[in-house]
Structure formats: C-alpha cells, structure tokens
A = this chain, B = another copy of it.
Amino acid sequence: MTEPPGRRERKKAATRQKIADAALRLFLERGYDAVGIRDVAAEADVAVTTLFSHFASKEALVFEQDADFEQRLTRAVAERAPDEPLIPLLKREMHALVRHCSTEGAAPVYRMIDGSPALRQYEETMRLRHAEALASAIAADLGQAAATTACRAIARFVIDVHALAREAKDPQAAVDEIFEMIEAAWEAVPPPPRG
C-alpha cells in the first residue's frame, strides 16, 4: 500500500519494459530488419495493438531510453545558475551525452543503428525535435518570447555535435573542437547575446 504509483501504472510500466526488452533482444540477436513487429509482440506475449499503444513506431522501440537523455540538454538550460555561461554548460552536457554513447553496453546498439537507414532517419528526426526544444529553452533563458533565428541556429549546431562526434575517431576531442566553433558563432550573433 502507500505506493505512489498504483498497481495499474506499475503493470503498465512492466508491460512496456517487457516489450522494450523483447525488442532489443531480438533486434541484437537477428538484426533489426530481420525482426518483424509481429515477432516482437509474440516474444513479449502481447498483441500488436498493445505494442503500438506503448510505442509509436518500430523505430521508437530502439530509442526507448535515448529520448530522455537528450532532454537533459533543455533541462540543463532551463535550470542553469545565473552565473553559469550558456555555451560551456551545453558543452559539459554534450560531453556527458557522448560519453554515455561510447561506453556502457551501448556499442552494439549504435552499430545496429548505423546499419539501418530507417533507424538513422528516425534518430535524425528525433534530434530535430530536440533542437527545437533546445532553441525554445535558450530563447526563454534569454528572456525572448519566441526563438529567434540565432537561437535556433545555435540549437541546431549543438545538436549536430552528437552525430558528428559519434563518427569521429576521438569523440570527446571532437566535442571540444566543434564547441570552439560554436562559441565563436555564438559571440558573432549581431544583437547582444547576453542582453
């Protein structure tokens, strides 16, 4: 008793996890393209419609946790201390993100993603959404009502770092290198960026 989440929500979360686990297992075992939605549903012992009530698409099964990891960026901006400069903060978060991708058991997953055009496409679309969210967060941080072109540009550049760094020989060094460029770009914004 006294469980903040009720039994219903726990069961729902369990079902979702069961599906995600089954999917990842099958994908890594036989390859993403060789596994059908019906296979995943059968392995998780749920109906296909149930699967799609938890995940919006086949690709979403792969990016289960990754999604909220990139939300860290926008949250970090929203909650930043007033004396913390914006760009170094973003750089620090991006370092953490890239490190998370390189280490852990994440390697096979990213090899799978790189091997499937559908997954690459989905990943990029997801990043676009994150870039928009980040642009709004930056704009709000600067006291702007809506994201200006400069904000949106910087947000895109920052999000691009993830993809660029992942494909570099030394990802961490790549993050530093690209942020040198971003810092310069940010300081070149015509209207004063630090109002």
Chain A residues in contact with chain B, CB under 8 A? 120-121, 124-125, 128, 149-150, 152-154, 156-157, 160-161, 163-165, 167-168, 174, 177-178, 180-190
Distance in angstroms between the alpha carbons of A187 and B184 in the assembled complex: 8
Tell me how far the C-beta of A178 lies from the nearest C-beta in chain B, rounded to whole angstroms: 5
**Which 3 A-B pairs rank lowest in CB-CB distance, beginning with the nearest?**
A184-B188, A181-B185, A185-B185
Given A124-B124, A180-B190, A181-B188; 12 other pairs, CB 8 A cutoff: A121-B121, A124-B128, A150-B177, A150-B178, A152-B167, A153-B178, A156-B164, A157-B157, A157-B185, A177-B189, A180-B189, A183-B188
Distance in angstroms between the alpha carbons of A97 and B160 in the assembled complex: 22
Which of B152, B160, B165, B190 is in CB contact (< 8 Å) with A157?
B160
Contacts known (A149-B174, A177-B190); A160 close to B164, Cβ less than 8 A: no
| Residue of A128, A153, A165, A180 contacting most chain B CB atoms (<10 Å) | A153
Q: List 11 A-B contacts (CB under 8 A).
A: A124-B125, A124-B128, A149-B168, A150-B181, A153-B157, A153-B161, A156-B157, A156-B164, A160-B160, A184-B187, A185-B188
Tell me how far the C-beta of A168 lies from the nearest C-beta in chain B, rounded to whole angstroms: 5
Which residues does chain B contribute within 8 Å of A163, judged by CB atoms? 156
Distance in angstroms between the alpha carbons of A4 and B156 in the assembled complex: 46
Tell me how far the C-beta of A92 lies from the nearest C-beta in chain B, rounded to whole angstroms: 19
Tell me how far the C-beta of A142 lies from the nearest C-beta in chain B, rounded to whole angstroms: 15
Distance in angstroms between the alpha carbons of A44 and B121 in the assembled complex: 30
Which residues does chain B contribute within 8 Å of A161, judged by CB atoms? 153
Which residues does chain B contribute within 8 Å of A188, judged by CB atoms? 180-181, 183-185
